Chains A and B, each alone.
Chain A
Amino acid sequence: MRRRPFTVLLLPALALGLSLAGAMLAAPRPAEAEEFITVASTTSTENSGLFGHLLPLFQAQSGIEVRVVALGTGQAMRVAERGDADVLFVHHRASELKFVEQGHGVGRREVMYNDFVLVGPRADPAGVAGTRDAAAAFARIAQAKAPFASRGDDSGTHKAERAVWKSAGLAPDGARDPWYRETGSGMGATLNTAAAMDAYALADRGTWLGFRNKGGLVVVVEGDPVLFNPYGVILVNPARHPHVKAAAGQRFIDWLVSPAGQSAIAGFKVGGAQVFFPDAK
């Protein structure tokens, strides 16, 4: 019993901790909005900080809380297909059109675009810096067998990257081409990989600008029209999923394409640079 004063204190302290935790469980969570919608979106919008900028503005105006689940475009679409989101906000036009065509979503609107950039090591072993022709640059990387880190995750960025390869007449395959590395993960993880192994990678500009672990990577190719990256927003079809919060979801969509929403998008800057360009029609 030599440590009596201490041990005597210990039990009440633990009891207090437990009851505090219990009280936390019972207490309603603060700052819970009256109404909320779930938006399945992409890592590029979330990681760049765009939603952090937009959502408070929308909530102040509408009282609706927006909960964003950030996934790759392919995964986000599957989540929306299962009815687990109210709104889909992604960037791969062909898939989006198919999504609507198959009846999963309604009322697709174009919201904004940004662009992809090819990043690579400053030493530029494939010698692609300076060109604006993405396909030519990709062909040169393949020729030099310079390491290239691909998302490999069926995301919008991955689909855009495959499109560029295709336009260069190539179809690199990780199994056959050891320089082509599929990370199977998000943009950030892929950039981390590229930074670690001095590889080239295709990235959306928003994520790139916000990315903190650039290492020796720099932008080597940008400005090619094929790198244009449009974002669309779609309401998940309430006829198919009756629980979808159609009214609130539609308000969010309407706001995004309204002058207020469009100027909010234009006003979002990373390191002083505008990242997303509103183009709602």
Chain B
Amino acid sequence: MTELRGAFAQALALIGGADPSLVEIVLLTVQVSFSAVLLATAIALPLGGALALYRFPGRRGLVVLLNALMGLPPVVAGLAVYLLLSRSGALGAWGLLFTPGAMIAAQCVLVTPIVAALSRQVLEDLWAEYAEQLRSLGAGRARAIATLVWEGRHALLTAVLAGFGRAIAEVGAVLIVGGNIAHHTRVMTTAIALETSKGDLALALGLGMLLIGMSIVVNASAYLLKEYAQVRYG
């Protein structure tokens, strides 16, 4: 229990103190995960839409694969991205390894299947409701996907948030491809891992509480937004 009490004190001190190196870590964390989710969403929504609206050979296999990849171990994703971005790898010339860019790529790999699989479900349900009307108006498939994404934006926000939660809480992948370099690729989770390995459990737990707090703020905003939208748009 002394650790927990210490952790609370640490968390409060961290927030109250606004320590510049902590601010740096928090900003980088948000920046990396936000970019990764943005990128993943840009890939996943059209992908989910295509899987919801088009019928083609291999579609079912792709859906199963996506659902399975939702549980992709971060370390595996990290290792794959590491091998790709390593100087000896296919994309080594880009020099992205051990940069925030590499971390964004790794998180993107983790998040895309989640957003795609969840949005496919949402869009498929919407399509059942809208299909005849949109076809009657003469909307093509691509346009229909765009329309459904906009119509389902509040439900899709939940899918995107699930992805964001995964991205921001993940440590295995960003540790491998980012290298946890101080002031450069150190994010909340890798900092927590580092403090744990230094034996500073209270500080690690304090950082963890801060991370949870951030997660709560993001989810609460989304929840309120969704509730508001329900009242307003019906």
Contact = CB atoms under 8 A, between A and B. Distances in A.
Interface of A: 1, 7, 10-11, 13-14, 17, 21, 24-25, 31, 38, 43, 47, 51-52, 67-70, 82-84, 185-189, 191-192, 195, 207, 210-214, 241, 243
B201 interface: yes
Interface centre among B87, B93, B201, B225 (most CB of A within 10 A): B87
A176 B142 CA distance: 62
A19 to B, nearest CB: 12
Interface residues of B, number: 33
A230 to B, nearest CB: 23
B88 A82 contact: yes
B199 A11 contact: no
Contacts of B225: 10-11, 14
B224 interface: yes
Nearest to A244: B87
Given A38-B98, A83-B86, A84-B86, A10 B228 contact: yes
Contacts of A192: 196-197, 199, 201
B90 interface: no
Nearest to A27: B31
Contact of A25 (B31, B93, B196): B31
Interface in B57-114: 86-89, 92-93, 95, 97-98
Interface stretch (B40-48, B124-132, B133-141, B181-189): B181-189
Contacts of A189: 196-197
14 contacts: A10-B224, A17-B221, A21-B31, A25-B34, A67-B184, A69-B179, A82-B87, A82-B88, A82-B89, A84-B87, A195-B199, A211-B199, A212-B198, A243-B95
Given A185-B197, A213-B200, 19 more contacts: A7-B231, A10-B225, A21-B34, A25-B34, A43-B197, A47-B194, A47-B197, A67-B98, A68-B182, A69-B179, A69-B181, A82-B86, A82-B89, A83-B86, A187-B197, A188-B196, A191-B199, A192-B197, A192-B201
Nearest to A214: B199
B35 interface: yes
Contacts of B182: 51-52, 68
B27 A67 contact: no
Interface of B: 27, 30-31, 34-35, 86-89, 92-93, 95, 97-98, 179-185, 194, 196-201, 221, 224-225, 228, 231
Nearest to A18: B34
A68 B186 CA distance: 11
Contacts of B180: 69-70
A244 B89 CA distance: 15
Given A14-B221, A212-B201, A83 B98 contact: no
Nearest to A71: B179
Contacts of A1: 231
A276 B185 CA distance: 26
Given A10-B221, A25-B31, A69-B181, A188 B87 contact: no
Contact of A69 (B95, B98, B183, B221): B98
A84 B197 contact: no
Contacts of B179: 38, 67, 69-70
Contacts of B31: 21, 24-25
Contacts of A52: 182
B198 A211 contact: yes
